[in-house]
Amino acid sequence: MTGQRQDPIQSAVENWRIAGWGDAASGMALVTSIMRAQQLLSAEVEGRLRPHGLSFARFELLRLLAFSKKGMLPMGVVGRRLQVHPASVTSAVVRLERDGHVSRRRSTTDGRMVLVAIEDSGRTVVDAATNDLNEVFRSIPLMPAEIESVYDALRSFRATAGDFDLEDPDGST
C-alpha cells in the first residue's frame, strides 16, 4: 500500500461537511478509522502468526486454554469468552485438532458436554506465538496515555454494545 500526501479519512470528513452531513462526520471518521486500524493491525498480527501455522482466532483459542486451570474448557465457555459464534469455535477446534494442538472429549460428569483440551504441542506453539505477538503489542506507535484513552473509550463502547456488565461505580448493586 503506497503512502499519499492526503489522509483519505480527513478528505471524507470534509466531503461529509460540504454535503451538509456535518453532524455525522465525526462518527463516520471514528468508524472508518477503527476499520482501517483493524486492517493494519490484523495484517501485522496475522503475519506474525503465519509462521506458527496459526490465525488470530486459533491463537486466542489456544491462549485461553493455556490460561485455564485444567487446560480444558467446555466448547460453550470458549465461545462466550472469545465472543464468537459456536460454528466459529468448532471450525477453529477442528483445525487445531488436525494439527495436534487440541483434542475434544466428553465430560465425565455430563456426557452431553464437549470439552476442548490443549495438548503439549498446543502449549509449545502458543507460547512461541505469544512471544512474537508481544513484540507487536509492546511496539504500538502511540503514547501510553493515548493507548489508555483509546482503550477506555472502546471499553465503554463494548459495554454499551452488551459485551459485559460495567461494574456499578457506587458498588451499591
Cell of 169: 461505580
Binding to a copy of itself, residues 52-111 (CB under 8 A): 56, 63, 67, 80-83
Question: Interface mask (CB under 8 A) for a copy of itself, residues 125-164, using x and -?
Answer: -----x--xx-xxxxxxx-x-xxxxxxxxxxxxxxxxxxx
| Near a copy of itself by CB under 8 A: residue from 17, 33, 107, 120 | 33
What's the closest the beta carbon of residue 85 comes to a copy of itself, in angstroms?
8
In this structure, how many other beta carbons lie within 10 angstroms of the beta carbon of residue 59?
22
Q: How many helices (H) and strands (E) does the chain have?
A: 7, 3
CB closer to a copy of itself, 45 vs 62: 45
The single-letter DSSP state of residue 5 is S
What's the closest the beta carbon of residue 51 comes to a copy of itself, in angstroms?
19
- Only one residue has cell 486454554, namely 65
Residue 38 binds to a copy of itself (criterion: CB under 8 A): yes
- Total residues belonging to the chain: 173
Binding to a copy of itself, residues 2-31 (CB under 8 A): 2-12, 15, 19, 21, 23-31
- Only one residue has cell 462466550, namely 80
- Using CA atoms, how far apart are residues 95 and 104, in angstroms rounded to an integer? 12
